[in-house]
Amino acid sequence: MTASASSGMSPSVDDLIRGLSMRRYLAGRPLATVLCVALRLRRPLLLEGEAGVGKTELGKTLADVLGARLIRLQCYEGIDVAHALYDWNYARQMLYIRTLEAAQAGSEETVPELFGREFLVRRPLLDAIEHSDSVPPVLLIDEIDRADDEFEAFLLELLADFQVTIPELGTIAANAAPTVILTSNRTRELHDALRRRCLYFWIGHPTPEQEVAILRARVPGVAERLAREAAAFVAAMRGLDLVKSPGVAETLDWVEAMAMFGSDDLDPELAELTLGALVKYREDAERAAAHGIGNLVAAARVAARS
């Protein structure tokens, strides 16, 4: 935790860069700046970028930097209020009804009591709104682009005031708004209304130099030569017409796999044998093979020396 975060103040840009770096997340000044603004203005931050560039990891690491609890809502097609906000514990309600029936309680007395706090199941959004944490939690709404338009509209209303009305209990409002990070892989376009509600940052693929620094930070003991050659190889792969360009997460897996076999440079045979850690589609593996793994490795070695 940074000194600013531990004292209850919003961390500065330098605090964030330092705190994230200590946890092996290398954020540039532009990203740290928008994070700082989001924290001070208490505005949601929308992070877009291809899969594997570190959007989700940023939300997790930020929670650690702030000393805050992480609440993650993984979005998917068909997600609804019962999965995201709250639901009722129907099994417990039925048990309660049977207990009352055994005690010969009247039905008119049971209905109001069935929807009390003791039967409420708090989902991530309600947990974030109704928190009692000393440091507001980080609410990570992951892959919002996978949810449908109706859920996006509901989320927009909730983020406007950080309150929700439960018919049986009334309106519940946050005493202190959580820090909200939304991520999107841009599989579909989000509505302008949601974008207007948020600050925005695009996380792209790192430069080879940045990727080398990430590899050295995240893969303990990796040889610098292997890191440089692998980063150059991946940069070349991203220039091909692939179904899915490898992200930083895939690069980390690939380099870790090669380092596991004791490699300190980019060996063509080992690179090909472990390529499944880097590319995840048959078409992409075939495209790499068509260019020649040996040729790509040779070019990467030249690029790494320049």
Q: Tell me the pLDDT tens digit for each residue of 35-86.
A: 999 999 999 999 999 999 999 999 999 999 999 999 999 999 999 888 999 8
Whether 221 and 252 map to the same domain: the answer is: yes
More confident call, 226 vs 87: 226
Whether 246 and 107 map to the same domain: the answer is: no
Query: Does some domain include residue 265?
Result: yes
Query: Does some domain include residue 126?
Result: no
Query: Does some domain include residue 178?
Result: yes
Tokens of 12: 């500065």
Whether 62 and 91 map to the same domain: the answer is: no
Q: How much is the pTM? A: 0.87
Whether 281 and 165 map to the same domain: the answer is: no
Whether 249 and 112 map to the same domain: the answer is: no
Residues 6+ apart with CB under 8 A from 135: 5, 8, 66, 67, 68, 69
Structural domain of 90: 86-118
Q: Tell me the pLDDT tens digit for each residue of 235-294.
A: 999 999 999 999 999 999 999 999 999 999 999 999 999 999 999 999 999 999 999 999
Q: Tell me the pLDDT tens digit for each residue of 172-183.
A: 889 999 999 999
- CA distance linking residue 303 with residue 306, whole number of Å: 5
Whether 144 and 289 map to the same domain: the answer is: no
Whether 281 and 182 map to the same domain: the answer is: no
Among 156, 178, 202, the domain boundary falls at 202
Among 169, 184, 202, the domain boundary falls at 202
Domain count, the chain: 3
CATH number for position 71? 3.40.50.300
